[in-house]
Amino acid sequence: MNDTNSKSTVEHLEELIDIPNVDKVWYLSTRKFLLSPKVKQFNRLNIIDIFDGYEPYLIDRDYFEKGINQVGLLPTFVLDSNVVGSLHQLFNKKNINESDKKSLLNFIDNLIIDDGSNRFYDINPIFYILECLLKDVADNYIIDNLASIILLQSLDLKAFKKNNMNFQKDMSLENEYLSKYGTFNLNEVSRIMFKSIKSTKQEIQSFKKSVDLTYLFLLKIAQIDIYETKLTVLQKIKTVKKFYLDSIGVFSAREINIAIYYFHSTIGGFIPTKQKTYKVVLETIYNSALDISLLRFTETMLSQGKRELTAIVYPVTFEQHVSKIGQDLTLSMQSVLKSGEFYSLFKTTLSLIEKSKDLNNIINDTNGLSEHDIIERFNTRSKLNNLLIEQLIKDIELSIMQVKT
Q: What is the pLDDT of residue 220?
A: 94
Q: What is the pLDDT of residue 121?
A: 83
Give the span between the Cα atoms of 210 and 296, in whole angstroms. 9
Identify the CA nearest to 220 among candidates 253, 192, 248: 248
Q: What is the pLDDT of residue 359?
A: 66
**152-170: b or e for each residue (b if 16 or more CB lie within 10 Å)?**
bbbbbbeebeeeeeebebb
**252 CB-contact burial (10 Å; exposed 0-12 / middle 13-18 / buried 19+):** buried
Number of Cβ atoms within 10 Å of the Cβ of 101: 16
Give the span between the Cα atoms of 361 and 54, in whole angstroms. 27
**104 CB-contact burial (10 Å; exposed 0-12 / middle 13-18 / buried 19+):** buried
Percentage of the chain surpassing pLDDT 70?
85
Give the span between the Cα atoms of 36 and 49, in whole angstroms. 8
Q: What is the pLDDT of residue 9?
A: 66
Kindly report the backbone phi and psi dihedral angles of residue 245, in degrees, each rounded to the nearest multiple of 5, phi listed first: -70, -40
Q: What is the pLDDT of residue 1?
A: 41
Highest mean pLDDT among 26-40, 350-364, 367-381: 26-40
Report the DSSP beta bridge partners of residue 123: 77
Residue 332 host element (H or E): strand 329-337
Give the span between the Cα atoms of 347 and 334, in whole angstroms. 12
pLDDT digits (tens, 9 = 90+) for 66-97: 887 888 999 999 999 999 999 999 999 888 88
Q: What is the pLDDT of residue 68?
A: 79
Look up the pTM and report it: 0.89
pLDDT at 243 over 60: yes
pLDDT digits (tens, 9 = 90+) for 24-82: 999 888 899 988 988 899 999 999 999 999 999 998 888 888 887 888 999 999 999 99
Which amino acid belongs to residue 325?
I
pLDDT digits (tens, 9 = 90+) for 279-331: 999 999 999 999 999 999 999 999 999 999 999 999 999 998 888 888 888 88
What average pLDDT does range 374-399 have in this prediction? 74
Give the span between the Cα atoms of 290 and 281, in whole angstroms. 15
pLDDT digits (tens, 9 = 90+) for 330-355: 888 888 888 888 888 888 777 666 65
pLDDT at 194 over 50: yes
Q: What is the pLDDT of residue 12?
A: 73
What average pLDDT does range 196-213 have in this prediction? 90
- Using alpha carbons only, give the angle 3, 8, 11 rounded to the nearest 5 degrees: 90
pLDDT digits (tens, 9 = 90+) for 128-156: 999 999 999 999 999 999 999 999 988 88
Q: What is the pLDDT of residue 375?
A: 54
Q: What is the CA radius of gyration of the chain?
A: 22
pLDDT digits (tens, 9 = 90+) for 102-116: 999 989 888 766 555
Q: What is the pLDDT of residue 2?
A: 43
What average pLDDT does range 202-213 have in this prediction? 90
Maximum C-alpha span of the chain: 66
**117 CB-contact burial (10 Å; exposed 0-12 / middle 13-18 / buried 19+):** exposed
pLDDT at 190 over 70: yes
pLDDT band, very low/low/confident/very high, at 374 (cuts 50, 70, 90): low
Query: Residue 119: CB partners within 8 Å, gap ≥ 6?
Result: 111, 112, 113, 157
Q: What is the pLDDT of residue 315?
A: 96
